[in-house]
Every structure is written in C-alpha cells, then in structure tokens.
C-alpha cells in the first residue's frame, strides 16, 4: 500500500487538482469544497480515487483529518505508482 503527503487548498474557484509539489514531496491539491464538516476530505478522496483509477474505498486519510496537510494511503498501489498517476493527470 502506497502513501503520499498532500496539502489541501480548499475553497478554490475550480477543482484544479494537483497544482504543484513542495520540497518535502507534498502534493498541493486545489479543491472547490470548503473545509467544513469533512466536505474537503470527501472531495479529496473523490478526486484521488478518480485520478488514481481506484475506488473511493481504496483511498484512506491516515493522518491529518482536520488539518490541511494529510497522509493518504492508496490500496493496491505503491508510492511510485501513485506519483506517476498523479503527475500524468
């Protein structure tokens, strides 16, 4: 199971997806959903499941459920495959 760090940028005008990678290999992801009542987390899981080509249930927020920086696991993919698929989008 692969894992990656993401920084969620909620309340964006559009769902832009991955907009960059920080020095610490943290992917910056812009989402329209607000950071209220878990809406941004649900939008993140939906975005990642579509971008990675896996089901929503295979994407899990391991750490950072209430912060902008999160550790995400994707079942069935290693870290390198996750990075390759995100960069391809």
> Using alpha carbons only, how large is the chain's radius of gyration in Å?
12
The parent domain of residue 79 ranges over 2-88
- What is the C-alpha to C-alpha distance for residues 23 and 29, in angstroms, rounded to an integer? 15
Consecutive sets of 10 residues in the chain, 89 residues long: mean pLDDT of each?
90 87 89 94 96 96 95 94 87
Number of domains comprising the chain: 1
Supply the pLDDT for residue 66: 93
Question: What are the residues facing 59 on neighbouring strands?
Answer: 74
Predicted pLDDT of residue 52: 95
pLDDT the model gives residue 62: 96
CATH of the domain at 47: 3.30.1200.10
């Amino acid at each position: 199971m692969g894992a990656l760090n993401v920084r969620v940028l909620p309340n964006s005008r559009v769902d832009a997806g991955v907009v960059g990678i920080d020095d610490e290999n943290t992917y910056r992801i812009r989402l329209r959903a607000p950071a209220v009542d878990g809406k941004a987390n649900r939008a993140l899981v939906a975005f990642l499941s579509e971008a990675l080509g896996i089901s929503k249930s295979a994407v899990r927020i391991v750490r950072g459920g209430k912060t902008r920086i999160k550790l995400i696991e994707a079942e069935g993919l290693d870290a390198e495959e996750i990075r390759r698929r995100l960069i391809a989008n």
